Chain A
Amino acid sequence: SYVLTQPPSVSVAPGQTARITCGGNNIGSKSVHWYQQKPGQAPVLVVYDDSDRPSGIPERFSGSNSGNTATLTISRVEAGDEADYYCQVWDSSSDSVVFGGGTKLTVL
Chain B
Amino acid sequence: QVQLQESGPGLVKPSQTLSLTCTVSGGSISSGSYYWSWIRQPAGKGLEWIGRIYTSGSTNYNPSLKSRVTISVDTSKNQFSLKLSSVTAADTAVYYCARVRSIAVAQPFDYWGQGTLVTVSS
- Residues of chain A having any CB pair with chain B under 8 Å: 1, 30-31, 33, 35, 37, 41-45, 48-49, 54, 86, 88-90, 92, 94-102
Contacts and interface: CB of A to CB of B under 8 A. Distances in A.
B114 A90 contact: no
B63 A1 contact: yes
Contacts of A86: 46-47
Interface of B: 37, 39, 46-49, 52, 60-64, 96, 101, 105-110, 112-115
Interface centre among A30, A37, A90 (most CB of B within 10 A): A90
Contacts, number: 61
The B interface is mostly helix, strand or loop, or mixed, namely loop
A98 B108 contact: no
Given A1-B63, A42-B96, A94-B63, A99 B110 contact: no
A33 B108 contact: yes
A88 B72 CA distance: 24
A99 B115 contact: no
Contacts of B112: 42-44
A24 to B, nearest CB: 13
